[in-house]
Amino acid sequence: MKETGPFALTIDGRETTVAPGTTIIEAAAGLGIDIPHLCYCPGLKSTGSCRLCIVEIEGLRSPVVACKREATPGIVVHTDSPTIREARRFVVELLLSRHPRECLTCDKNGVCQLQRYAYELGAQADRFPVEPPNHPVDDRNLFIFRDPNYCILCGCCIRICHLQGAGVIDFINRGLKTKVGTPWDRPLDQSDCDFCGSCIEVCPTAALIEQRRRGRGREWELHRSTSVCGHCGAVCAVNFYLKGGEVVRVGAPQRVDYLCARGRFGWVHLSHPERLTRPLVKKNGTLVGVNWGEALDAVANGLLAVRDKWGPDSVGGIIGTGVSNEVAQAFLSLMRIGLRTNNLGISPGLKGLADVLHDLDTVYGGKRATLEDIASADVLLVIGDAVRRSPVVWAKVKRALANGTNLIYVGFYNGRLAKTASIWLRSRPEAIEAVLHQMAAMLLRLDEGGRLPGRRLEGFSDYKTALQRAFSMTISDGEGLEAKDLAAACAAFGDLSRKAVVIFAADGVSRGTAAAAVNLALLTGRTERAIYPVVSGANATGILTLLKTGKTSTEAAMSAVKMLTGTNVRGLYILAEDPLSFFPDPERWRGLINELEFLVVQDMFLTPTAALADVVLPASSHVEEDGSFINAAGHPVRFDQAVPPVGMGNLNTLAQIAARLGSQALGGEAHGPTAEIERLVSGRAVPGTSKPALFLPSVSNLTKGNTPGISLVGYASRFYPVHDTRLRFSGFARLEPYGGDCIALSPIDAGALGIAEGADVVVQSPYSKASARVKIDNGLLPGVALVSPDAPVALAILGGSWPLGPVPIQLTVART
């Protein structure tokens, strides 16, 4: 009979009480007894394959594997008898017969589990004939160094790859030739690997290690510090391992916690030789290195000269979304108090994000879903490319799938989501909103059976009208969307007893699509923690909230453009932003910047925009200062300085400038939390704590999406998100299929146009035209073309709808 309550057992003479389902290895760990193990990894399903964790149970004739065997009441376990030690020694000696003898030069020396047990058990290294497997190493990529000769076939990497990664590795071959490999044993960079590096974290030997970590320090030489990742709005916790102040490797707080490729490998910029370490001032048309005092004087004098000559409105500031709330607040105070201007802007590409987050706050207040809500959901509705913009979301979706969640995917790409979803609602990008409305309309019709109260729509006539329009549209739009799929999606999502989370990229869908998704959740009574808005910028939510003082965030997003085109701004301070690389129509920006009287750029690198500045100030990374972000779930995340700063630090730099502007109080504010920051990080600044249960108005004209021609959309890379200078130094571009000047077409469209892979084409949109190189992508629905949102071709031809699209395009093969 199965135990239902806690029970006692004895391990090595000590009694302990455990809950039913506890394994012997877990019970022993509770007593502080570490049973030797190689293939066991807490958090991963046990396979019991290495046999190192064998223990004896009194009354049983044979040893059992402690990592799989559940404890039972009253058993008496011996974990370290002479018989057991001899059996373990035998296992280790067999492994050693296939293992390289290079502990002296091995990077994992001191933390290798095989080395540890060989020593602890007194293993004889040459008890069996030594036959190294002689497998080729995989060192082609910049991130994961894979040497199968060190592999002990524990399978931990395979299990974690399937649990939360791409699921690209498995055991291949047979017998002595068995190894861990990708399909057809290709190198990782030719597989579908996400380079999340989770496999490195669980590898007990040196078979998998960080490529850039090799030869840079043994584990005992590394100093650990903790911070958060700043490469997307998820703001995951990270551990930095430093030697001599430089980051040698990065890990998650727990071995089986997920970090994406950016979080694990996206830190090369911190100590890159091109990083700015001293200020530059333009002299006789050339930027030359100067000391900090001279540069800060030049900044203050230059900005004051413009303001005094033309008035406060002649000065403005643009801020990036990767800086902390504290740095942002110091910058905004510098501009508002020190220079008396409210000309403050962010990238125009964030206008859509500002609108969507504003709408979301209107109806959901601060009660957005979290990543843990995704992992524990019964039903997930994922829209568009959300999981690519924030890969940790994909990891959480996979956790949910492992628990049997129902995944509904609405989108146009036959990739992982489509392949793992129980229901794929095929939809071109411009039709997604209509598909979501069709679901809502169908659910309301189910109301005739009494499941959903139709009166909820009373007073929301525009939403009602949109639903009626969507419902009258042909459900099958010719692209494969089937009525039965829509009905199945409604049946899953309409089951109100199931916990549902809707996931979309808040900066990757139109405002109308986001509103349709939010309304669908509200319609089914999901009024809390039902929406997870993926946000690409680490602190976009915090910056937008801070900018709301004095103006709406949408106005702030637009003011970056307006301040140079519609106002008389002649002096500009750009902090951690690069309009020439990341704003649409870069050449227009070059012309606008050239007309300025004075430009200050504070950045980590001499970006194309910084190269035009009168003064360039080195910027610090968020990990080099204490601070806080607001993550995509709307929660404040505080962090401490984790890496020694390069230069003066952002906060100190802004305080020094403020002091030179005669604003002494501002200098104090910059070093300590202001009331605004306190409100923000305590959650009091997040609007809508008393949430009105409203529907959002429908804001767009619906389309079925089966319009003729090809629509171009910005489609985020899983490696290289929108808008990030820092990642350019990490080498992700080599893995990026749509980067640079690439445009992806479906095979059907390419065939119809007679365009081959690699062909040079001219892409004409209503805004502009640009050259591009064709990549044929079998995952695309016909009629949709993709570009990376920050690729030059996207900036040029998506025009006013950058970074999303869709825009209609025409393609012609370029003459050679």
Q: Return the amino acid letter for 377.
A: A
The Cα 564–Cα 216 span in angstroms is 47
Q: How far is the CB of 84 from ligand FES (least distance, A)?
A: 12
The Cα 443–Cα 450 span in angstroms is 11
Q: How far is the CB of 211 from ligand FES (least distance, A)?
A: 28
Q: Looking at beta carbons only, is 117 or 394 nearer to ligand FES? A: 117
Q: Looking at beta carbons only, is 34 or 294 nearer to ligand FES? A: 34
Q: How far is the CB of 163 from ligand FES (least distance, A)?
A: 17
Q: Looking at beta carbons only, is 94 or 337 nearer to ligand FES? A: 94
Q: Looking at beta carbons only, is 65 or 229 nearer to ligand FES? A: 65
Query: Candidates 32-40, 305-313, 349-357, 685-693 — which segment interacts with ligand FES by CB under 6 A?
Result: 32-40
Hey, what are 374's tokens? Answer: 């995704």
Per residue, the 3-state secondary structure of 424-441, as one string, reads: EEECCHHHHHHHHHHHHH
Nearest 5°: CA angle at 153, between 147 and 155?
A: 105
Q: Closest Cα partner for 28 from 58, 70, 60?
A: 70
Q: Check binding of 40 to ligand FES (CB under 6 A).
A: yes
Query: Candidates 44-52, 133-141, 213-221, 562-570 — which segment interacts with ligand FES by CB under 6 A?
Result: 44-52
Q: Looking at beta carbons only, is 48 or 731 nearer to ligand FES? A: 48
**275, 604 in Cβ contact below 8 A?**
yes
Q: Check binding of 511 to ligand FES (CB under 6 A).
A: no
Q: How far is the CB of 31 from ligand FES (least distance, A)?
A: 17
Query: Candidates 51-59, 104-112, 284-292, 742-750 — which segment interacts with ligand FES by CB under 6 A?
Result: 51-59
Q: How far is the CB of 60 from ligand FES (least distance, A)?
A: 16
Q: Check binding of 38 to ligand FES (CB under 6 A).
A: yes
Tell how strand 760-764 and strand 636-639 pair up. unpaired
Query: Candidates 33-41, 338-346, 649-657, 719-727 — which segment interacts with ligand FES by CB under 6 A?
Result: 33-41
Site size toward ligand FES (CB under 6 A) is: 12
**784 burial class (0-12, 13-18, 19+ CB within 10 angstroms)?**
buried
Query: Candidates 38-46, 92-100, 282-290, 582-590 — which segment interacts with ligand FES by CB under 6 A?
Result: 38-46
Binding mask 57-76 for ligand FES (x = CB under 6 A): --------x-x---------
The Cα 24–Cα 27 span in angstroms is 5
Q: Which helix (H) or strand (E) holds 120?
A: helix 113-120
Q: Check binding of 114 to ligand FES (CB under 6 A).
A: no
C-alpha distances in Å from residue 522, one per residue of 135, 445, 692: 56, 16, 11
Query: Candidates 35-43, 213-221, 294-302, 344-352 — which segment interacts with ligand FES by CB under 6 A?
Result: 35-43
Query: Candidates 37-45, 118-126, 361-369, 749-757 — which segment interacts with ligand FES by CB under 6 A?
Result: 37-45
Q: How many Cα atoms are found within 13 Å in the side-chain-facing hemisphere of 410? A: 29
Q: How far is the CB of 66 from ligand FES (least distance, A)?
A: 6
Q: Check binding of 37 to ligand FES (CB under 6 A).
A: yes
Q: How far is the CB of 74 from ligand FES (least distance, A)?
A: 23
Q: Looking at beta carbons only, is 51 or 218 nearer to ligand FES? A: 51
- Name which position in 3, 7, 16, 51 contacts ligand FES (CB under 6 A): 51
C-alpha distances in Å from residue 669, one per residue of 131, 145, 508, 676, 708: 66, 46, 35, 11, 57
Q: Check binding of 334 to ligand FES (CB under 6 A).
A: no
Q: Looking at beta carbons only, is 152 or 658 nearer to ligand FES? A: 152
**13 burial class (0-12, 13-18, 19+ CB within 10 angstroms)?**
exposed
Q: How far is the CB of 733 from ligand FES (least distance, A)?
A: 40
Q: Closest Cα partner for 534 from 504, 509, 510, 500?
A: 504
Q: Looking at beta carbons only, is 40 or 629 nearer to ligand FES? A: 40
Q: How far is the CB of 18 from ligand FES (least distance, A)?
A: 18
Q: Which helix (H) or strand (E) holds 227?
A: strand 223-228
Tell how strand 760-764 and strand 769-776 pair up. antiparallel
Q: Check binding of 42 to ligand FES (CB under 6 A).
A: no
Hey, what are 525's tokens? Answer: 């009574």
Q: Check binding of 151 to ligand FES (CB under 6 A).
A: no
Q: Looking at beta carbons only, is 52 or 804 nearer to ligand FES? A: 52
- Name which position in 18, 28, 53, 380 contacts ligand FES (CB under 6 A): 53
The Cα 392–Cα 135 span in angstroms is 32
Query: Candidates 50-58, 543-551, 728-736, 761-769 — which segment interacts with ligand FES by CB under 6 A?
Result: 50-58
Q: Looking at beta carbons only, is 46 or 539 nearer to ligand FES? A: 46
Q: Looking at beta carbons only, is 65 or 659 nearer to ligand FES? A: 65
Q: Check binding of 39 to ligand FES (CB under 6 A).
A: yes
Q: Looking at beta carbons only, is 38 or 632 nearer to ligand FES? A: 38
Hey, what are 611's tokens? Answer: 């190269």
Q: How far is the CB of 154 from ligand FES (least distance, A)?
A: 7
Q: Check binding of 50 to ligand FES (CB under 6 A).
A: yes
Q: How far is the CB of 77 from ligand FES (least distance, A)?
A: 14
- Name which position in 27, 28, 52, 369 contacts ligand FES (CB under 6 A): 52
Q: Closest Cα partner for 144 from 188, 105, 106?
A: 188
Percentage helix, strand, coil for the chain under 3-state DSSP, each rounded to 5 = 35, 20, 45
**588, 767 in Cβ contact below 8 A?**
no
- Name which position in 16, 17, 49, 301 contacts ligand FES (CB under 6 A): 49
Query: Candidates 49-57, 132-140, 531-539, 595-603 — which segment interacts with ligand FES by CB under 6 A?
Result: 49-57
Q: How far is the CB of 45 from ligand FES (least distance, A)?
A: 12
Q: Check binding of 763 to ligand FES (CB under 6 A).
A: no
Q: Return the amino acid letter for 172.
A: I
H helix and E strand count, the chain: 26, 32
**Crossing angle between the packed helical segments 553-565 and 540-547, to the nearest 10 degrees:** 80
Q: Name 171's Cβ contacts closer than 8 Å, sequence gap at least 6.
A: 153, 155, 158, 178, 179, 180, 181
Q: Looking at beta carbons only, is 88 or 428 nearer to ligand FES? A: 88
Please report the DSSP string for 262-328 in residue order. HHHHTTGGGG-TTS--S-EEEETTEEEE--HHHHHHHHHHHHHHHHHHH-GGGEEEEE-TTS-HHHH
- Name which position in 20, 48, 480, 808 contacts ligand FES (CB under 6 A): 48
The Cα 588–Cα 772 span in angstroms is 20
Could you list the residues that contact ligand FES (CB under 6 A)? 37-40, 48-53, 65, 67
